[in-house]
Amino acid sequence: MLKTTFRTAALLSAVIGAGAVAYASSNPEVGGAPMYDNKTIVENAVNSKDHTTLVAAVKAAGLVDTLNSAGPFTVFAPTNEAFAALPAGTVDTLLKPENKDQLVKVLTCHVVAADAMAAAIDKMIKDDGGSHDVKTVGGCTLKATEMGGKIMLTDEMGNMATVTIADVKQKNGVIHVIDKVLLPKA
C-alpha cells in the first residue's frame, strides 16, 4: 500500500510538473524575458530588452495607467530596432514634452481595443478576401494581410510591418511584436 501511494504521488508530481512546464512555455519569451499572462502589458513590456524604446515612449506619453488598466487591448509592439529605423532624430523629437500629442497619436495607432489573437486576425483577413481594416484607439486604420504565414500590417503612410512574435498573452489583452513603427497620416 505504501509503495502504491509513493508511486501515485511520484506520478502525480511528474504530471503536475510537466503541466507546469507546458504552461510556462505556452507564452513566448520576448526580448529575453518571460511574458506572464497574469501581468499587464506594461508589467511585461518593462522586462523585454527589445522594447526599452517603446516603454520609454509609453511613459513619456503618459499611457502607463491606460495600458495597465483592464482593457482588453491588442498592442502591436515595435522593437527597439523598429524605432531605430525611423529617420535620425525622430524618436528624440517625439519624446520631447512639447510633442506629447504627436507621440500619443503614434503610440495609440499601435493599440486596438480588443483581445485579438493571431488566429482571429487571420480569420478576419480571409473572411474579407485577403485584407482586413483594423481600427486603432488612435483613430488610425491599419490594413492587415497575410503573407507567407505571417500577419502583415500596413499603416496609413504605406509602411508595412511584420508580426514577428504573435499571441503574447497578457492579463489585459495580447501583444504582437512587430518589426516596424506604424505611422498615422501626416
pLDDT tens-digit series, residues 6-36: 233 333 333 323 333 233 347 888 888 888 8
pLDDT tens, residue by residue, 76-89: 999 999 999 999 99
Amino acid at 170: Q
User: Which residues, listed in sequence order, are joined to residue 173 by a DSSP beta bridge?
Assistant: 73, 170
pLDDT tens, residue by residue, 152-183: 999 999 999 999 999 999 999 999 999 999 99
Who contacts 61 (Cβ-Cβ below 8 Å, separation ≥6)?
A: 100, 103, 104, 107
Residues 184 and 103: their CA atoms lie apart, in Å, by 11
What φ, ψ does residue 170 adopt, rounded to 5°?
-130, 165
Q: What is the pLDDT of residue 124?
A: 94
What φ, ψ does residue 71 adopt, rounded to 5°?
70, -145
Q: What is the pLDDT of residue 71?
A: 86
Confidence of residue 37 (pLDDT cuts 50, 70, 90): confident
Q: What is the pLDDT of residue 4?
A: 33
Q: What is the pLDDT of residue 155?
A: 96
Sign of the Cα torsion 68, 74, 80, 82 reads: negative
pLDDT tens, residue by residue, 102-154: 999 999 999 999 999 999 999 999 999 999 999 999 999 999 999 999 999 99
Entry pTM: 0.83
User: Which residues, listed in sequence order, are joined to residue 176 by a DSSP beta bridge?
Assistant: 76
